[in-house]
């Protein structure tokens, strides 16, 4: 059988952000010592990486299970947690391995300061996203959370002044569209652009990468907000872009002989997984 002779390259800017890298490192270091570690929620939004860590002893628990975990170690992931999670874990004599991203810690401080100043806090983000739960939890859920412009438009009344924050993985252009919309409604907006610079730069960098290949394979977990944003960017500049979460989803029929294929990933996509995809494509 003739090989397709694909020309394959991995995006050098893809892979873990420093927040995810720190969380994975803390998990791995703890598992080397203890061979068991509980993690509140998915450590990363990537099914393949979670499976690897679970083989090493990582156990994912949900919020309703936290009250039953005692006398062990619990990792709080990069997304951050509300104060109630810390209180409950400590009351049950657990040691907390805190892997909250430094960027998230900074945003938590900004939100608490805004609340202390009695500002009307609005957050552009997904209602049930762990990062949003952690941020809003810092101020007893006093912030107004909205997912998109449509939801904002449906609100009956907006305050004359508000302070606008964002989930770190949201699209920058959408964020500033929201700012302009609020201003057009006569609202005075204090802008706190809390979109992660790593995420924003990745969006800019991926345009050139997507446009310079015949086909694009973007690898991300099905629950990765960043993965969805980056995939949409890829599709803008290369209609032949495919979203996958594992190597087994790749189809040989997607490709023609001698095509160039670019492999990229979200901030929660491990390099080993991108290399596995490269190996699979090379076998065609």
What are the residue numbers of the active site? 131
Q: Which two tokens stand for residue 261?
A: 């294929």
8 Å CB contact between 171 and 148: no
Q: Are 10 and 275 in contact (CB under 8 A)?
A: yes
The residues, ordered by sequence, that sit 6+ positions from 276 with a Cβ below 8 Å of its Cβ are: 247
Of 125, 123, 81, 70, nearest to 104 by C-alpha is: 81
Supply φ then ψ for residue 60, to 5 degrees: -85, 130
Asked if 184 contacts 210 with a C-beta cutoff of 8 angstroms, the reply is no
Q: Which of 180, 200, 202 minimizes the C-alpha distance to 189?
A: 180
């Amino acid at each position: 059988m003739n090989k397709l002779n694909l020309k394959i390259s991995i995006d050098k800017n893809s892979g873990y952000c420093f927040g995810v890298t720190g969380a994975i490192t803390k998990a791995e270091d703890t598992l080397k010592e203890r061979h068991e570690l509980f993690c509140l929620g998915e450590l990363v939004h990537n099914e393949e990486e979670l499976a690897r860590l679970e083989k090493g002893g990582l156990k994912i628990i949900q919020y309703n299970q936290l009250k039953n975990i005692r006398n062990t170690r619990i990792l709080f992931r990069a997304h951050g947690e509300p104060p109630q999670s810390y209180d409950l874990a400590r009351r049950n004599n657990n040691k907390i391995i805190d892997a909250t991203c430094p960027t998230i810690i900074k945003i938590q401080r900004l939100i608490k300061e805004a609340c202390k100043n009695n500002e009307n806090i609005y957050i552009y983000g997904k209602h049930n996203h762990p990062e949003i739960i952690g941020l809003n939890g810092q101020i007893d859920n006093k912030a107004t959370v909205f997912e998109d412009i449509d939801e904002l438009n449906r609100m009956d009344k907006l305050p004359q002044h508000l302070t606008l924050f964002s989930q770190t993985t949201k699209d920058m252009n959408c964020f500033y569209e929201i700012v302009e919309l609020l201003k057009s409604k006569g609202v005075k907006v204090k802008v706190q652009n809390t979109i992660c610079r790593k995420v924003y730069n990745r969006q800019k960098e991926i345009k050139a990468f997507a446009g310079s290949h015949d086909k694009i394979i973007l690898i991300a977990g099905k629950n990765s907000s960043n993965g969805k944003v980056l995939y949409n960017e890829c599709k803008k500049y290369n209609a032949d872009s495919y979203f996958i979460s594992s190597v087994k989803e790749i189809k040989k029929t997607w490709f023609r002989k001698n095509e160039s294929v670019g492999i990229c990933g979200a901030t929660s996509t491990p390099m080993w997984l991108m290399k596995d995809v490269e190996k699979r494509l090379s076998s065609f």
